[in-house]
Amino acid sequence: MSRSIQKREKVIEMALKVSALISILTTIGIILVLTVQTVSFFKEVSIFDFFTDTEWTPLFAQKHFGILPLITGTLLVAVVAIAFALPVGLSIAIYLNEYASTNARKIIKPALELLAAVPTVVYGFFALTIVTPALQTFIPGMASFNALSAGLVMGIMIIPFISSLSEDALHAVPHSLREAAYGMGSTKFQTAFKVIVPAASSGILVSIILAISRAIGETMIVAIAAGQQPRLTLSPLVPIETITAYIVQVSLGDVPHGSLEYNTIFAAGITLFAFTFLLNYISFRLKKKYQEKYE
């Protein structure tokens, strides 16, 4: 082999390696940006207040910097979304894996993917202009901006997420278990719920955790339909604000760079990042564990 070809091979390999390293630089960049700005935020605000104050009003004259209302708002919407999407998504996964014919699966799966393909601004518009008015006819006291419709619509978006990940988990259960259950005279329903779902439980758990992580990071649905009023409440019927919606709210305003108000979005951002990172890490470990189990 000529030397020039060898040299070219080396150069190409290096170039590919450098491209691959960009993804690591991205992670470093994210952590660095969030930490640097958050450090300058905590030079002016005490960490204790940040975690214990029950009000979040950095844009008002009377400033409070308690992240709790944003966290409860974020979790409230996520809980509604998961409470709706989990039973539906899991049922779909069981149906596709245990009942549906191959042809039906071929049509249903891409159709469900369509739900995840709809841009989130569009879902936000649905929540605000269709779901909220519809719910208001049943729940008279409901505000125009609320966690319930935002959460429900987010749930619709998350359905394909849960159904496809859970289906993968159900699919990974060895066929012998299923056959053994049938051999004992079980119906498909008994097989699914007494054998397959328990055997796939850690995989299903992974799908739930990833869905929660997805829900708390979702931005436009809540920015449009859940309101912009940080409020420490468990009621899904009143306006609240999530971490993501707050970041968008500040970005749309005229907050000067480097000011304390500007730095709040990084403090809020690092809180969000910590939550999603933790959830992703747990799901990553779980996945490793259950993959080993069946290999």
Cα→Cα distances 116→96, 106, 159, 163, 167, Å: 18, 17, 8, 11, 16
DSSP-H helix ranges across the chain: 3-42, 47-52, 68-94, 102-117, 120-126, 132-136, 147-171, 175-183, 188-190, 197-199, 201-217, 220-225, 243-252, 260-293
Backbone φ and ψ of 200, nearest 5°: -100, 10
Q: How far apart are CA 222 and CA 75, in angstroms?
A: 12
Query: Does position 274 bind another protein by CB under 8 A?
Result: no
Query: Does position 92 bind another protein by CB under 8 A?
Result: yes
**How many of the other CB atoms lie within 10 Å of CB of 162?**
26
Residue whose CB is less far from another protein, 45 or 245: 245
Q: Which of 67, 156, 169, 199 binds another protein (CB under 8 A)?
A: 156
Q: Tell me which residue of 163, 200, 178, 176 sits closest to 98, measured CA to CA.
A: 178
Query: Does position 223 bind another protein by CB under 8 A?
Result: yes
Q: Which of 216, 226, 240, 255 binds another protein (CB under 8 A)?
A: 216
Residues 6+ apart with CB under 8 A from 100: 108
Q: Which of 7, 26, 54, 234 binds another protein (CB under 8 A)?
A: 26
Q: Which of 4, 24, 61, 62 binds another protein (CB under 8 A)?
A: 24
Cα→Cα distances 123→25, 131, 193, 258, Å: 32, 10, 33, 33
Stretch that binds another protein, among 7-15, 49-57, 165-173, 229-237 (CB under 8 A): 7-15
Query: Does position 110 bind another protein by CB under 8 A?
Result: yes
Query: Does position 232 bind another protein by CB under 8 A?
Result: no
Q: How far apart are CA 69 and CA 58, in angstroms?
A: 13
Stretch that binds another protein, among 48-56, 170-178, 197-205, 245-253 (CB under 8 A): 245-253
Residue whose CB is less far from another protein, 24 or 61: 24
Binding footprint of another protein, residue count (CB under 8 A): 84
Residues 6+ apart with CB under 8 A from 155: 80, 81, 82, 83, 84, 85, 88
Query: Does position 17 bind another protein by CB under 8 A?
Result: yes
Q: Which of 72, 132, 164, 244 binds another protein (CB under 8 A)?
A: 244
Q: Which of 42, 177, 273, 286 binds another protein (CB under 8 A)?
A: 273
Residue whose CB is less far from another protein, 33 or 139: 33
Supply the minimum distance, in Å, between the C-beta of residue 77 and another protein.
13
Residue whose CB is less far from another protein, 48 or 138: 138
Query: Does position 76 bind another protein by CB under 8 A?
Result: no
Residue whose CB is less far from another protein, 281 or 294: 281
Residues 115-134 that bind another protein (CB under 8 A): 115, 117-122, 124-126, 128-130
Q: How far apart are CA 76 and CA 177, in angstroms?
A: 38
